[in-house]
Amino acid sequence: TAGAGVPAPPSPALSIGRKKETNAFVVPDGRDPKLWIVKTFGPEKALSISLMRKSAEWFATGKQVPIFSVFFSEHLRGYIYVEAFKEADVRDFCRGITGISQWSITIVPMTQMPLVFTSSATDADKRMLLKPGDWVRLKRGLYKGDLAQIDEVKDEIFVVKIKPRLRYGLEHQVKTDRADKAHAKRPQPRWFNRVDIEAGGLLINTEKRFTPRGYVTFFIVDGESYRDGFLHKSYKAPWFEVGDQVRPLEHELQDWRFAPPVSENTRPEVDLNKADDKRLMPPPTLPKKKVAPERIPLTEGDVVIVHSGDLKNLRGVVTKAIFGATTVLVKPLDVANLDGELNIATNLLSKYFQVGDYVKSVFGEHEGDTGWVLKVILDSNGGWGYNAMARVLSSSIGGEYNSRIDHITLTSQKPEPQDEVGEFAVGQLVRLEGRQNSRALIVRLEAGTRAIVLATDGTKHEVGFGDMEPVALPPVRMYQRSVWTMDRKGKKIMPGAIIKCPRGHGRSAPIKAEVKYIHNEFCFVKATEALTGEKAFLVCPGNRCEFVFSLADNQQEQKENKKEAAVGKVQYGVVMASETDWLQPWVKKMMGIDEEDGNKLGSLKTVGTAVRIHGGAYKGLRGEIRTHLDDKVRISLLSKPKLVVVNISDIAPDDYERPKHERFASAGAAPSTPGLALAASAPGTPFTPAS
């Protein structure tokens, strides 16, 4: 290429797309400055600014600056781009700036230089800019991890709204000792209320400040600004987590929605709207416009009753219903002399239910809920009109509700329990809002909107997702070491331990269970035997339990016993060819082959091991090994008094001789409850190995 540079031909992709704009680059030649990529050991933006400041100092003193430009790209961490003629110029100019390598300098190919400039400019245009109303999360400080909202932007300073963490009373005492400050607990988040602050002995002032909305008055407590229940605080951008890292949780958004209303306790009186009493009185309300509730069309299989006309009180079953049609075919019930089907208008029919029917709500406030009909409430005329209601007991036995006869239908479905919904899961410890027993364990999730929780007093409650929030716990091992309580014999009970606890408040045999969580003196446990499903979750005080063993200690003891057995074994250094192990242990594990121990119970090398025959003439029979005959064994059958000789390749250890905790890997925990729909269709209780 000759000259200072010629435009590159347009991209084929742009010509195919028939776009009007052009995408022409100026390709540099050998006489233009080169582009160098330099390794860095610090923030690229700060190092680029340092080079710019150094060039400004050289310009001020009259020195010639050997570089032409410096920039960095957001998607390339640990490198900056410097434009200069020679590598030595870049190395000399970067000397003295900490964080820039003087030896890891690489030239960018000349054909790639336009793409580097273009991509860096594009990344700079696409960087995220915070604006009022954006959600952010603080990285450090007192409010680390708390959700905040951008309220005002002042160049590099951002004013955010956040739920305050105030210290009242004894919490507000100044801690002079450094150790006391380090171990001081972070106060709980609570909304600002002037009455609570004054009761705690704190001084409240007011201050008027200018904002984009004009002059606004704030409450001032210990130099912090409060208004409408929120704390208004200024931060710089490095204090925030933005974008996908924020992800406000449902309970946080619910908490912000129910922030305290504007009143003299949350906003200074100067900014409150004042008016006469007559103006404060609301105008009389208009009469509500009555709208007919929506009618649900009848479907085949519905049991109906005629509520008016010549066939009044005739009951039948809908055999054919066409969507949008004004009539349906009904087969009468309990009528001896009437055969066939009747064509009846839908406005003369109403659904018919009896006490005890299992129904499902298909419309209205309780859509999706199931339950049993407790009572049928007829209309004002004492008939089965459209205004007839049914009193339904929810299947969760958590409450009753009224529903129109037309809005329910017979069903065999039940709300199937869910293992996990959003941030909540079965077996999770949660905090309940507004209850004396603030800690509870989720034992069941239903319909994606509610949960059945087990409180510390042993009672179960139906709670909505908005009334509870997950409890933040440390990692499992740290939690097991830091939380404990005492049993009735004075032994420590820690999470993960196996204990014996009572089944209920009455006198009954104790049951083995695994400790999941400990709150104060209460232990939330899950039964490892006898009980399954949501019944396996129990709660009881530690002084009524008895410590059995710890799973972690038991596993450590088994490892030590294996080491001791290996140390005491006499070895002569002579290995027979038949005993040579030709595969590495990791290869056996990958192929699914267990390492066989001759002294282990259930080994084919041990006389008396119970085996099952899976090949040959005696396939399917079980027996015990009596003698080893090279590649064959003599087996005593269990089904008949007979000794047989079979190949050792046709037998396998019988699992029935293995201990229960080895035969069933899930014996240490109660199995999950089967689906209620499946349980309703199959009679009896399904058998599980752990039952």
Measure Cα distances from 227 to 219, 231, 236 in Å: 6, 7, 21
Cβ(462)–Cβ(396) below 8 Å: yes
Q: 649 falls in which pLDDT band (50, 70, 90)?
A: confident
Same domain, residue pair 441 and 469: yes
Closest listed residue to residue 405, CA positions, set 295, 310, 529: 295
* C-alpha 115, offset from chain centre: 42
**226-273 tens-digit pLDDT:** 999 999 999 988 888 887 778 888 889 889 988 998 888 899 988 887
Same domain, residue pair 235 and 333: no
Cβ(306)–Cβ(344) below 8 Å: yes
Both tokens assigned to 375: 């009572």
Both tokens assigned to 599: 């002294």
Last-in-domain residue among 410, 431, 465: 410
Q: How far apart are the C-alpha atoms of 408 and 362, rounded to whole Å?
A: 6
Range of the domain at 210: 130-267
Over range 285-307, report the average pLDDT.
74
Over range 6-34, report the average pLDDT.
55
Q: Is residue 201 part of a domain?
A: yes
Same domain, residue pair 146 and 260: yes
Over range 300-312, report the average pLDDT.
85
Same domain, residue pair 135 and 261: yes
- In the chain, the percentage of residues whose pLDDT exceeds 70 is 77
Half-sphere exposure of residue 97: CA atoms within 13 angstroms, side-chain side: 25
Closest listed residue to residue 528, CA positions, set 416, 678, 676, 664: 664
Same domain, residue pair 244 and 138: yes
Please state the φ and ψ torsions of residue 593, each to the nearest 5 degrees: -100, 125
Using only the alpha carbons of the chain, give its radius of gyration: 39
The region of weakest confidence among 103-117, 352-366, 435-449, 567-581 is 567-581
Q: 682 falls in which pLDDT band (50, 70, 90)?
A: very low
Residue 45 reports pLDDT greater than 80: yes
What's 575's DSSP letter? -
Q: 567 falls in which pLDDT band (50, 70, 90)?
A: low
Same domain, residue pair 449 and 372: no
Q: How far apart are the C-alpha atoms of 79 and 82, rounded to whole Å?
A: 10
Q: 320 falls in which pLDDT band (50, 70, 90)?
A: confident
Last-in-domain residue among 92, 127, 162: 127
Render the burial of 526-553: b for 16+ CB within 10 Å, e for the rest: bbbeebbbbebbbbbbbeebebbebeee
Measure Cα distances from 240 to 74, 196, 245, 248, 503 in Å: 18, 30, 10, 14, 49
Q: Is residue 28 part of a domain?
A: no
What CATH number is given to the structural domain containing 634? 2.30.30.30
Closest listed residue to residue 48, CA positions, set 99, 84, 106, 96: 99
Q: 127 falls in which pLDDT band (50, 70, 90)?
A: low
Half-sphere exposure of residue 223: CA atoms within 13 angstroms, side-chain side: 1
Q: Is residue 559 part of a domain?
A: no
Both tokens assigned to 355: 């006490």
Under DSSP, is residue 339 helix (H, G, I), strand (E, B) or coil?
Answer: coil
Q: What is the pLDDT of residue 58?
A: 92
Same domain, residue pair 499 and 614: no
What CATH number is given to the structural domain containing 95? 3.30.70.940
Residue 653 reports pLDDT greater than 50: yes
Q: What is the DSSP string of 161-222?
A: EE------GGGGS---SHHHHHTPPPPPP----HHHHHHTT---EEEEEEETTEEEEEEEET
Q: How far apart are the C-alpha atoms of 41 and 77, rounded to whole Å?
A: 10
Cβ neighbour number for residue 516 with a 10 Å cutoff? 18
Both tokens assigned to 137: 């999360």
Over range 303-327, report the average pLDDT.
85
Both tokens assigned to 545: 């339990």
Region of 161 on the Ramachandran plot (φ > 0 left; ψ -120 to 50 alpha; else beta) = beta
Place of tokens 């407790």: 374
Q: How far apart are the C-alpha atoms of 416 and 466, rounded to whole Å?
A: 21
Residue 38 reports pLDDT greater than 90: yes
Both tokens assigned to 631: 């590649």
Residue 100 reports pLDDT greater than 70: yes
Q: What is the pLDDT of residue 528?
A: 87
Q: How far apart are the C-alpha atoms of 656 and 612, rounded to whole Å?
A: 10
Q: Is residue 230 part of a domain?
A: yes
- Can you give the pTM of this predicted structure? 0.33
Last-in-domain residue among 410, 439, 472: 410
Burial (CB < 10 A; 0-12, 13-18, 19+), residue 224, is middle
Closest listed residue to residue 206, CA positions, set 183, 188, 227: 227
Q: How far apart are the C-alpha atoms of 385 and 308, rounded to whole Å?
A: 8
Same domain, residue pair 648 and 537: no
What angle (nearest 5°) sits at the alpha carbon of residue 621, between those of residues 619 and 624?
120
Closest listed residue to residue 541, CA positions, set 591, 609, 601, 486: 486
Both tokens assigned to 504: 């209920």
Name which residue leads in pLDDT, 515 or 14: 515
**205-228 tens-digit pLDDT:** 999 988 888 889 999 998 899 999
Same domain, residue pair 140 and 263: yes
Q: What is the pLDDT of residue 242?
A: 84
Closest listed residue to residue 665, CA positions, set 691, 629, 689: 689
Q: Is residue 164 part of a domain?
A: yes
Q: What is the pLDDT of residue 684?
A: 40
Counting every residue written for the chain, the total comes to 691
Over range 547-573, report the average pLDDT.
70
Side chain identity at residue 557, one-letter code: E
Same domain, residue pair 118 and 134: no
- In the chain, the percentage of residues whose pLDDT exceeds 90 is 18
Q: What is the pLDDT of residue 3?
A: 41
Render the burial of 563-594: b for 16+ CB within 10 Å, e for the rest: eeeeeeeeeeeeeeeeeeeeeeeeeeeeeeee
Q: Is residue 561 part of a domain?
A: no
The region of weakest confidence among 316-330, 398-412, 591-605 is 591-605
Q: How far apart are the C-alpha atoms of 376 and 384, rounded to whole Å?
A: 9
**172-184 tens-digit pLDDT:** 655 556 666 666 7
Q: 592 falls in which pLDDT band (50, 70, 90)?
A: low
Domain count, the chain: 5
Q: How far apart are the C-alpha atoms of 93 and 75, rounded to whole Å?
A: 25
Q: Is residue 93 part of a domain?
A: yes
142 Cβ neighbours under 8 A, 6+ residues apart: 165, 186
Side chain identity at residue 309, one-letter code: G
Q: How far apart are the C-alpha atoms of 66 and 94, rounded to whole Å?
A: 11
Measure Cα distances from 169 to 166, 174, 201, 263, 648 in Å: 10, 11, 7, 24, 80
Cross-strand pairs, 234 = 159
Residue 678 reports pLDDT greater than 50: no
Cβ(627)–Cβ(638) below 8 Å: no
Q: Is residue 293 part of a domain?
A: no
Measure Cα distances from 165 to 168, 230, 257, 473, 676 in Å: 10, 10, 18, 20, 45
Residue 328 reports pLDDT greater than 60: yes
Name which residue leads in pLDDT, 126 or 209: 209
The chain-wide mean pLDDT, for the chain, equals 79
Q: What is the pLDDT of residue 68?
A: 93
Render the burial of 135-157: b for 16+ CB within 10 Å, e for the rest: bbbbeeeebeebbbebbeeeeee
Burial (CB < 10 A; 0-12, 13-18, 19+), residue 626, is middle
Both tokens assigned to 353: 């239910």
Q: How far apart are the C-alpha atoms of 55 and 93, rounded to whole Å?
A: 9
Same domain, residue pair 118 and 140: no
Q: How far apart are the C-alpha atoms of 370 and 398, rounded to whole Å?
A: 12
Cβ(350)–Cβ(307) below 8 Å: yes
**402-425 tens-digit pLDDT:** 888 888 888 766 655 677 888 888
What angle (nearest 5°) sits at the alpha carbon of residue 261, between those of residues 188 and 136?
55
Same domain, residue pair 230 and 359: no
* Farthest CA pair distance, the chain: 118
Q: What is the pLDDT of residue 416?
A: 58
